[in-house]
Amino acid sequence: MKAVAVQAFGSPEGLAVIDLPTPSPTDGQVLITTEAIGVGGVDAVIRSGALAAYGFKDGHILGGEIAGTVAAVGDGVDTSWLGQRVWAFTGVGGGYAEQAIAPATTLLHLPATMSAAEAVTLGSSGAVAHFGLRHAHFVPGETVLVRGAAGGIGIMAVQLAARGGASAVAVTTSSPERGDRLRKLGATHVLDRAGEGGEDDPAGFDVIIDIVAGADLPSFFAKLNPNGRMVAVGAVAGDPPTDFAMEMFAAFQKSMSFATFSANTVPAADRQVVTAELFAAASRGELATVVHEVLPLEQAVLAHRKMDAGEVFGRIVLMPSGS
């Protein structure tokens, strides 16, 4: 089978299409013939080499989110999954392939009205946005800022905050055109990447969902209301400065909170319940899935060039040629 491996960490050109034997599922696993593979922001971060400390090795197959048909099951897995169209989460890799292994505990049936491309755009991002807002103790009536809203997680956070009764949903993004698209998804205020916007913007926010981090993160503490909560769910601009908490201490009397959030800390069963609910909501037309572009699996290099160039609004989806 064809797969895309990281032959050299760094630029997209380090990705290569290789031939591998079809893997066999072991206890608790399934083999999925992939129809759609999500290209997540985290894939670009792993490929860049920024997460070398986590032990990624040359030859790593990227991709955590896939949809397709169950082709084989390992010991202990209900054989009724065979032949079912499913969404699955492989973990930190293995997804950029014509066939991929996933734990059976992550499987969800694809709703009849949902395409495989839509499923891999919504699945993981939706859960991160949902639980990120919950981690921030968001309640209806509060003001929310989504920093880095134009990617998969941000687009879901905007929609879920709006659906959840936020009194205002502001976003940071890099262009007015992207801002207009985000307004159609529920944003009420559009700020630039530095957090500057119009005169009618809320003076402060109760919740900031931050997908960006990086050098500018501390400047956003000033945008939190008293008792405001900032939750970092991503770091597409890299780590914040080591002294980033000093900005919070400078405003000690505002009783602000900062937290990181990783979906890894959510029990798998809870993630499954929420992802199934989000799939159902999307099937009813209550949530939009934004597929930026569908590319053949063999063009993973192009997909990553587009990611690095900041061209992507929503999610790029890879499809093996046979799909």
| Cα 129 to Cα 320: distance, rounded to the nearest angstrom | 28
| Cα 176 to Cα 173: distance, rounded to the nearest angstrom | 8
| Cα 275 to Cα 57: distance, rounded to the nearest angstrom | 30
Q: Of 71 and 237, which has the nearer Cβ to ligand NAP?
A: 237
Judge whether 73 and 79 are in contact, CB under 8 Å: yes
Q: Does 234 bind ligand NAP (CB under 6 A)?
A: yes
Binding mask 140-169 for ligand NAP (x = CB under 6 A): --------x-xxxxx---------------
CB-nearest residue to ligand NAP: 151
Residues that contact ligand NAP, how many (by CB under 6 A): 29
Judge whether 150 and 173 are in contact, CB under 8 Å: yes
Q: Does 263 bind ligand NAP (CB under 6 A)?
A: yes
- Candidates 7-15, 76-84, 100-108, 231-239 — which segment interacts with ligand NAP by CB under 6 A? 231-239
Q: Of 69 and 135, which has the nearer Cβ to ligand NAP?
A: 135
Structure tokens at 277: 């609910």
- Candidates 7-15, 77-85, 94-102, 230-238 — which segment interacts with ligand NAP by CB under 6 A? 230-238
Query: Is 228 in a helix, a strand, or coil?
Result: strand
- Candidates 81-89, 136-144, 257-265, 293-301 — which segment interacts with ligand NAP by CB under 6 A? 257-265
Any idea what the Cα angle at residue 186 is, between residues 180 and 190, rounded to 5°?
45
* Start-to-end CA span in the chain (Å): 13
Torsion of CA 14, 19, 22, 28, to 10 degrees: -10
Q: Does 41 bind ligand NAP (CB under 6 A)?
A: yes
| Cα 208 to Cα 229: distance, rounded to the nearest angstrom | 6
Q: Does 50 bind ligand NAP (CB under 6 A)?
A: no
The residues of the shown chain that bind ligand NAP, judged by CB under 6 A, are: 40-42, 45, 124, 128, 148, 150-154, 173-174, 178, 193, 211-212, 214, 233-237, 261-263, 310, 312
